[in-house]
Structure 1
């Protein structure tokens, strides 16, 4: 390996151009070395814009490039597991956009490929690596809020592109898979556990995917949570954690610019704390750099991804059957 980690990108996705690539430019330990796009014209424009020296028109050719150390996979959801496994088998580390998998069978294939290859595979929940999130974890763990009783989380926006793959059930579309996964992941992080029981409700789009989703989740310790997600409202996010002593509120827990705030309310008095990072997506890049260069474990383990996936699948099953679903401990 050279003195910098060499990244390759599968596809020319909007999230790569708008978020990942600008963050990668801020890293001193990484370089964007190659990309692959099946749409050659789109790929050439992507490579020209970002100064990418090598462009492939086949994903397989990017994985075969011996000068690539790690793959960023922002392909549509139904392609995440397949190309993550293939990249691992080609000897590459992988940072894959969420959701990493859509089934537990896919999860097992990713786990086996990571184990046999000795390479790191991580799900790209960018918020997990931000100082704001770390502060929330510390506050909850410290007991400042008292015993945690209730939690509430939401992530919604208006998806006005009718040809977007997120409207396609065959591509792993749906608001829960796309953005409802954030509060589910967040509450798993805070509780250290998957939910014990979930109850979900959905409003479906004409294509059959959930345009809006709402759910109740019960965690060990009698902690109750509410989540919702939607493609049919104005942008909205929140995380609220209510304890026996105080309430913590994060108005922008997932998407924010250079500054983010949290608020703690106790006995009618509110205090605010602010946090910053050069770029929201830089943290997940640094996490992969630490794994590759220093041998650290990723902040978000595959075991945690497995639990989050099981919870999301249980929520969909509940919405489909209109019954609560109990998860295995």
Structure 2
């Protein structure tokens, strides 16, 4: 029997408690073995489903634990690069929450550390582990919708009632683009293989972070050139959707980023008067992410979201900020 990969988590973040820790616990070939938190009370909900969980009082103590093979890092955004590098230096494989960095050029240091260590380091970009995205890529790249002309997306939620949330704070790397732009930008890149040729952005800010932003641009890649538009917001009603529009059809993903939470994962394909819908009820992309990460560690299976892919999305985010105009919607 293959020995399970023993995971540790740096910090008792709400997202880790609700999604990634249960996913690690449920994944084949993985064991949730340790958490680093100075608060036993914060560790208690994790221990409720993983009774043998070891608690370390500091992040450094967990990284020094020789029984831990891999770490998951759900810390605030501005700490991601620092602790990813520390985890690699400690000899751990590392899966870091998105965005793994706040500037694309920071990824070079992580790639260098990854290559020098021979370990796996990746951003926790879970959506590319969901079959709906592989199906979308297959359909678009096989010509099911003809010549791709336009891609648009939206991802929004409203957290104005929680001003203390790290997403609402500039000093922790907050803002809607860092939090959810990685999905609207990166998913288009994943499906089409294209990169931005030009990009403009308008945004509204509060307390130094973008709370609404729209990017528009021209993408170019192996499928040719297409126009692109995406809206991200932390001040609008919950909505998410991605659409790929060709001259012979349209693909629409109705729960592209939070399937099972927002709605059931569905892919709608329109060709002429024909509409077909594919569904993936109950698929947990967090579990698949952990299992695929483990497969890459054990057997060298190519990882769906290597750091080189992550660099492209980070560069697109950099471009959005560099070309942004701040406006008022009042």
Give the TM-score normalised by structure 2.
0.93
Between the aligned partners of 1:195 and 1:38, the Cα distance in structure 2 is 43
In structure 1, the residue matched to 2:87 is 87
Asked if the contact 1:44–1:55 (Cα under 8 Å) also holds between the matched residues in 2, the reply is: no
Asked if the contact 2:28–2:291 (Cα under 8 Å) also holds between the matched residues in 1, the reply is: no
Please state whether the residue corresponding to 1:51 is helix, strand or coil.
coil
Asked if the contact 2:94–2:122 (Cα under 8 Å) also holds between the matched residues in 1, the reply is: yes
- More moved, 188-197 vs 46-55: 46-55
Between the aligned partners of 1:309 and 1:145, the Cα distance in structure 2 is 28
| 1:317 maps to which of 316, 322, 326 | 322
| 1:279 maps to which of 277, 284, 299 | 284
Inter-CA distance 245–178: structure 2 relative to 1 (3 Å threshold): same
Between the aligned partners of 1:68 and 1:279, the Cα distance in structure 2 is 24
Q: Given the alignment of the two structures, is residue 53 of structure 1 paired with residue 58 of structure 2, yes or no?
A: no
Deviation at 1:265, TM superposition (A): 1.2
Q: Cα deviation per residue 1:28-82 (whole Å; 9 max; x = unaligned)? A: 3110000101444323554455425311111011011100000001111111111
Q: Given the alignment of the two structures, is residue 72 of structure 1 paired with residue 110 of structure 2, yes or no?
A: no
Between the aligned partners of 1:123 and 1:52, the Cα distance in structure 2 is 27
| 1:244 maps to which of 247, 255, 262 | 247
Between the aligned partners of 1:52 and 1:155, the Cα distance in structure 2 is 38
Please state whether the residue corresponding to 1:299 is helix, strand or coil.
coil
Inter-CA distance 2–68: structure 2 relative to 1 (3 Å threshold): farther
In structure 1, the residue matched to 2:271 is 266
Asked if the contact 1:47–1:55 (Cα under 8 Å) also holds between the matched residues in 2, the reply is: no
Please state whether the residue corresponding to 2:323 is helix, strand or coil.
helix
* Superposition pairs of residues 137-148 of structure 1, within 5 angstroms: 137-148=137-148
Asked if the contact 2:25–2:50 (Cα under 8 Å) also holds between the matched residues in 1, the reply is: no
Between the aligned partners of 2:320 and 2:297, the Cα distance in structure 1 is 35
Cα RMSD (Å):
1.8
In structure 1, the residue matched to 2:158 is 158
Deviation at 1:259, TM superposition (A): 4.0
- More moved, 253-262 vs 58-67: 253-262
In structure 2, the residue matched to 1:234 is 237
Q: Given the alignment of the two structures, is residue 173 of structure 1 paired with residue 153 of structure 2, yes or no?
A: no
Between the aligned partners of 1:71 and 1:47, the Cα distance in structure 2 is 17
Deviation at 1:210, TM superposition (A): 0.3
Give the TM-score normalised by structure 1.
0.93
Deviation at 1:107, TM superposition (A): 1.1
Q: Cα deviation per residue 1:143-197 (whole Å; 9 max; x = unaligned)? A: 0110100011111101131100111111110000001210100011122132111
Asked if the contact 1:176–1:312 (Cα under 8 Å) also holds between the matched residues in 2, the reply is: yes
Moved over 6 A (4+): none
Asked if the contact 1:35–1:52 (Cα under 8 Å) also holds between the matched residues in 2, the reply is: no
Q: Cα deviation per residue 1:77-123 (whole Å; 9 max; x = unaligned)? A: 11111111110111110111110111134212111111111100111
Between the aligned partners of 2:250 and 2:194, the Cα distance in structure 1 is 21
Deviation at 1:271, TM superposition (A): 1.3
Q: Given the alignment of the two structures, is residue 295 of structure 1 paired with residue 300 of structure 2, yes or no?
A: yes
In structure 2, the residue matched to 1:203 is 204
In structure 2, the residue matched to 1:182 is 183
Inter-CA distance 302–228: structure 2 relative to 1 (3 Å threshold): same
Stretches of structure 2 that go unaligned for 5 or more consecutive residues are: none
Please state whether the residue corresponding to 1:272 is helix, strand or coil.
strand
Q: Cα deviation per residue 1:261-308 (whole Å; 9 max; x = unaligned)? A: 111112233111112454231111111111111122211011111111
Inter-CA distance 321–236: structure 2 relative to 1 (3 Å threshold): closer
Stretches of structure 1 that go unaligned for 5 or more consecutive residues are: 323-329
In structure 2, the residue matched to 1:132 is 132
Inter-CA distance 288–277: structure 2 relative to 1 (3 Å threshold): farther
Deviation at 1:315, TM superposition (A): 0.2
> Would you say how many aligned residue pairs link Structure 1 and Structure 2?
321
